[in-house]
Amino acid sequence: MSQATDENINRVNNYVTKYCRKTGLTTHSMPEVTEAVVTGLAHNIETLGKPLCPCRFYPDKAEEIKSRTWLCPCTDMKNYKYCHCMLFVNEDGMPVTEHLPEDHEGLTTYGVTKDPAPEKYKAPK
């Protein structure tokens, strides 16, 4: 993958900081995890024009962008505060799973992990 520009990395970092405040979450405790996701998002902004989640495989990135499901914050993050990338996590470094539907793979993978700021959660309509 080509290197993302400092401008877009800073842009994504600013967004991440604001989104953490908005949701009551934090970034991963391992800086290299956060850095990899931020760099991937910045790279996708540069090459695709949108912050497509860098943690997934897409047969057709243009189609994925049209669906908007995996644009950061992805649909699961917006609806359930669940971040597949582990960019937005609770204080223990775990993705929030307590709001997920019971058949969601996140619950199978991580079990129930609490939301540190449930007052900042809005259930999907």
* pLDDT single digits (tens) 5-23: 999 999 999 999 999 999 9
pLDDT band with cut points at 50, 70 and 90 for residue 2: low
Instruction: Give the pLDDT confidence score for residue 90 in this predicted structure.
Output: 96
pLDDT for residue 41:
97
What does the pLDDT average to over 106-112? 96
Q: Tell me how crowded residue 121 is: count the other CB atoms within 10 A of its CB.
A: 15
To the query of whether residue 55 is one of the catalytic residues in this protein, the response is yes
- CATH domain 6-115 topology: Ferredoxin Thioredoxin Reductase (3.90.460)
Residue from 20, 53, 55, 83 carrying the catalytic annotation: 55
Cβ(110)–Cβ(100) below 8 Å? no
pLDDT at 71 over 80: yes
Over 90: is that where the pLDDT of 124 sits?
Answer: no
